[in-house]
Amino acid sequence: MVCRLPQLSAMQLDHSGAARTAVAAGTTVVVRTGKTAWAGRTTRTGKAAGTRKTAGAREAIIVLNPGLQTCSDCDMITAIDKKQLINRRRKRDMSKILLINGSSKKQGCTYTALREVEQELQNEGLETELYQLGKEPVRDCTACGACRKLGKCVYNDDCINELIETAGESAGFVFGTPVYYAHPSGRILSVLDRVFYAGGKAFAFKPGAAVASARRAGTTASLDVLNKYFTIARMPVVSSNYWNMVHGNTPEEVRQDLEGLQIMRGIGRNMAWLVNCIEAGKQAGIGYPPVEEKIATNFIH
Ligand SMILES: Cc1cc2nc3c(=O)[nH]c(=O)nc-3n(C[C@H](O)[C@H](O)[C@H](O)COP(=O)(O)O)c2cc1C
């Protein structure tokens, strides 16, 4: 049966990952497979060029760009993806906000700040997980590049691959750090370097907030470093009514920082609002925006 809107269609990938599709030539599409997304324009013949298939993914869905009409009763679509779409929605409904405490102190100042954010997220009806990096040694990135092939870190002796997996199931992120010599903790930097390098796709288009806790100074420099993980990974950055910081050398002192705690609650509410807006957009057919193939010039022009 022919779709009432000729540019809307479902697509199947063959074993080599090549795409067969009935999409009109020149249509801008986003192709989602099990774990990856590809975006671009269809070629003159209507085929989606350059589509890659994830292992295990049997089919892909073409989602039209925001603003374009969608067909609600296209047999081609329903025959292929109805079940998959429902499962995806269910999975999204279960999405949680992952908060990472970059201090080795499990119940210190950073934790106190993150708990204030978490409480507000829960008040807004969102599920949360507060992940403690703890005191165990964390390896720095060795730049071996193995993750490019593996899709995960080659080292399995710490929390990195577990975190990448958890990130994939999460709808938003809050990274908290104590300030050490005016920068984030070495612990959280080692973790984020490896998690983003090996598993950056798990974060794309999901909102992120950075939180810094200091006795006195170095917060904005630390926030600047953490925010850069978000902006290289296409993540919307969540703000509040001031820069995302608390002050104190002990949890008791942080609890006295009433302005800081208010900022934390604002992060929670703004994060919840953004996550809900993104989800509502998806339900209305506005998916993630298309991405271009990465250009890396390495300063050679
Ligand atoms: C190694 C080290 C360096 C620190 N450097 C700074 C600093 O540059 N500026 C500051 O205000 N506080 C600094 N502090 C204090 C902590 O940032 C502050 O106590 C923080 O709130 C502790 O958070 P936590 O209890 O979650 O670990 C430093 C603490 C340590 C252990």
Q: What is the pLDDT of residues 82-134, one digit of tens each?
A: 344 344 444 545 579 999 999 999 999 999 999 999 999 999 999 999 999 99
**Per-residue confidence (pLDDT) for residue 84, from 0 to 100:** 46
User: Residues 185, 177: contact at Cβ < 8 Å?
Assistant: yes
Q: Which residues pair with 131 in a beta bridge?
A: 100
- Cβ of 240 less than 6 Å from ligand 1: no
pLDDT at 241 > cutoff 60: yes
Closest to 162 measured CA to CA, from 204, 191, 185, 141: 191
pLDDT at 213 > cutoff 60: yes
User: Residues 213, 177: contact at Cβ < 8 Å?
Assistant: yes
C-alpha dist (Å) from residue 50 to 9, 66, 151, 222, 297: 18, 22, 19, 39, 20
**Per-residue confidence (pLDDT) for residue 114, from 0 to 100:** 98
Dump pLDDT digits (tens) for 219-230: 999 999 999 999
CB neighbour class for 188 (10 Å; exposed up to 12, middle 13-18, buried from 19): buried
Q: Which residue has the higher pLDDT, 144 or 39?
A: 144
- Cβ of 177 less than 6 Å from ligand 1: no
State the distance from the centre of ligand 1 to the C-alpha of 215, rounded, in angstroms: 6
CA distance 269 to 278: 14
Kindly state the tokens that stand for 228: 């850069």
Report the sign of the C-alpha dihedral through residues 186, 188, 192, 195, in that order: positive
| CA 22 to mean position of chain CA atoms | 31
Ligand 1: nearest atom to the Cα of 248: 21
Angle at 57 between CA 234 and CA 21, to 5 degrees: 85
Average pLDDT, rounded, for the chain: 79
**Per-residue confidence (pLDDT) for residue 299, from 0 to 100:** 83
Protein residue with its CA nearest to atom 1 in ligand 1: 180
CA distance 281 to 13: 27
CA distance 195 to 148: 12
**Per-residue confidence (pLDDT) for residue 301, from 0 to 100:** 67
- Cβ of 220 less than 6 Å from ligand 1: no
- Cβ of 248 less than 6 Å from ligand 1: yes
- Cβ of 176 less than 6 Å from ligand 1: no
State the distance from the centre of ligand 1 to the C-alpha of 257, rounded, in angstroms: 16
CA distance 117 to 113: 7
Domain edges within the chain: 7-65, 93-275
Domain 93-275: which CATH number of 2.40.110.10, 3.40.50.360, 1.10.1130.10, 3.40.50.620: 3.40.50.360
**Per-residue confidence (pLDDT) for residue 97, from 0 to 100:** 98
State the distance from the centre of ligand 1 to the C-alpha of 249, rounded, in angstroms: 7
Is the pTM higher than 0.85? no
User: Residues 146, 156: contact at Cβ < 8 Å?
Assistant: no
CA distance 35 to 6: 27
Classify strands 170-180 and 208-214 as parallel, antiparallel or unpaired: parallel
pLDDT at 37 > cutoff 70: no
Report the sign of the C-alpha dihedral through residues 226, 228, 233, 239, in that order: positive
At residue 62, φ and ψ (nearest 5 deg) are -95, 125
**Per-residue confidence (pLDDT) for residue 218, from 0 to 100:** 98
CA distance 109 to 249: 7
- Cβ of 188 less than 6 Å from ligand 1: no
H/E element, 79? helix 75-93
- Cβ of 179 less than 6 Å from ligand 1: yes
